[in-house]
Amino acid sequence: MDIILQYFSDFTETQLAQFGALQKLYSDWNEKINVISRKDIESLYERHVLHSLAIAAAANFNDGCEIVDIGTGGGFPGIPLAIFFPNVRFLLADSIGKKLKVVEDIAAAIGLKNVEVRHTRVEDIKDRKFDFAVSRAVAPLGDLWKWAKPILRTGHQSEEYGNGLICLKGGDLSQEFAESGLRPRMLPVNMLFDEPGFDEKYVVYVPR
C-alpha cells in the first residue's frame, strides 16, 4: 500500500490498518470468487484502491454526507472511499448478490461502521436520497445519470462540487458524452496521480 502513502497522509492508525488489510482479504476471496481480474490482484492498491481514491483526491466530502455506490461489484470505489471518509455514510448497491457477500465480509473484517450493503438495482431504490452517487466503469454516463438523478438531493456536501454524480471512466468518451446529452466536468486521473496506468482515465462529474 506504499503507493497510497505517496499521495495521501494524515491517516489514523485505524485507517492504515484497514487499507493494509485489503490485499490479503481480497486475495483470499479471489480464490473463491473472481472478484478482481486474476492479473490485477497483485496490483490491487494501484489499479483498484488508488484508482478509487481519485474521487477522494478530487472531492472532499463533508461529514454526514450520504453516498450511493452504483454497481459496487467487489466494493470499488465504495470500500476505499468509506475508509478514507469515516464520517460519511455509504450505501454499496449491486444486483449481483455473490459479490456483495465479499463486500459485506471485507467491511466487517476491517470494522467499517459507515457502510451498508444492499442487493438491488439502483433504479429500484425508492426509500433513500443521497448527496452523491459514485461509480466505476459500470455503465454509459447517460444510464448512470438516469439511475442516479431521482435519488440525489440538491445541496453542496463537498468543498469542490455541488451534489451530483462522480464516476470513474476511461478511454475516448466523446461519443458516450454526446449520446448522454450531458456536459460533464472531466478531471484526468494522471493529474492527481503520476502513474502510467492512469493515462486516459478520468474523474467525471455531473451536477444535480
Asked whether residue 208 is marked as a ligand-binding residue, the answer is no
> And the C-alpha cell for 108?
466487517
Of the candidates 92, 108, 14, 111, which has an alpha carbon nearest to the alpha carbon of residue 52?
92
Of the candidates 96, 47, 54, 45, which has an alpha carbon nearest to the alpha carbon of residue 74?
96
Helices (H) and strands (E) in the chain, counts: 9, 7
Q: How far apart are CA 139 and CA 22, in angstroms?
A: 26
> And the C-alpha cell for 186?
472531466
CA dihedral sign, ordered 178, 175, 153, 126: positive
Asked whether residue 122 is marked as a ligand-binding residue, the answer is yes
Q: How far apart are CA 20 and CA 151, in angstroms?
A: 33
Asked whether residue 181 is marked as a ligand-binding residue, the answer is no
Asked whether residue 164 is marked as a ligand-binding residue, the answer is no
Asked whether residue 117 is marked as a ligand-binding residue, the answer is no
Known binding residues for S-adenosyl-L-methionine: 71, 76, 122-123, 136
| Binding residue positions | 71, 76, 122-123, 136
